A = this chain, B = another copy of it.
């Protein structure tokens, strides 16, 4: 991927087959098996860490120590302590960390964010995401760490409040990691969020329901067009007098699918990374955003291990 203001100089990759493919596809780029070739290179300003989660901390730390800005695959780190240490190190070295929360750069999330900020949905009631498919199984993390970071980073961006507590349930059927899991997050002001992730679903689903006091929306990321549908529907409490009285009124109106910005989210995210490095601006998906997600995942794992206790954040 070529971006204005930057150039890919080198790729470090442990798999010989993948190195061969990379050399063939990008003849002008250095491909090495030794990550330190990249991390210590004087020519390189920034490094993208796209490796298993348990390696993020060591690689990012080495990169920061060598004065490189780092772009890190989600989830940011394997635990909160690692994330905090990296943030402190980056700050001390005056370097940028960006965590790959790609969805924040999609047309759908940008539109949903706008609808919330403009008050189109009214006060938020709930955020409910289903993200299921058959595999891809990870061997070092469970399905929550694999799939939920997408939703957690989107929520973190949209809800603009920290969850108070987390409950997670799930089950391990195959390889010692939960392959089916459910997570509830209690946010302030009665906002509730729920995530359903599953590596054992026969069908792929990427659907999020967002309910507000004024309007509600459905975001189906698998639709080619009309990914976001806004419903002019809601409920009004009109009468609380007697148990036999009608307590609620339903409002129902038009449905509306706003046109979304057609963008390649990853390209835009990386371009933003280059901009943040140039301008000194802190990215919205910086290490702190990455750390907030990791802390939610840590709390979820703690809850999962107790089969669903309430874990405060």
A40 at the interface (CB under 8 A from B): no
Q: How many copies does the complex hold?
A: 4
Q: A182's contact among B125, B184, B191, B240, by CB below 8 Å, is which?
A: B184
Contacts of A130 in B (CB 8 A): 130
- Neighbouring B residues of A247 by C-beta, 8 Å: 137, 139, 175
Is the contact region of chain A dominated by helix, strand, or loop, or is it mixed? strand
Chain B residues with CB below 8 A from A6, complex form: none
Residues of B within 8 A of A8 (CB): none
For residue A85, give the distance in angstroms from its CB to the closest CB of chain B.
24
Report the Cα distance A27→B27, complex, angstroms.
10
Nearest B residue to A132 via CB reads: B209
Tell me how many residues of A have a C-beta within 8 Å of chain B: 71
Q: Which residues of B contact A173 (CB under 8 A)?
A: 125-126, 190
How distant is the Cα of A245 from the Cα of B139 in the complex, in angstroms? 9
Further pairs besides A126-B173, A175-B247, A186-B307: 4, Cβ < 8 Å: A134-B233, A134-B235, A171-B190, A182-B194
* Interface positions of A (Cβ within 8 A of B): 27, 125-126, 128, 130, 132, 134-135, 137, 139-140, 165, 167, 169-175, 180, 182, 184, 186, 190-192, 194, 196, 198-204, 209, 211, 215-218, 222, 224-226, 229, 231-233, 235, 237, 240, 243, 245, 247-248, 250, 252-259, 306-310
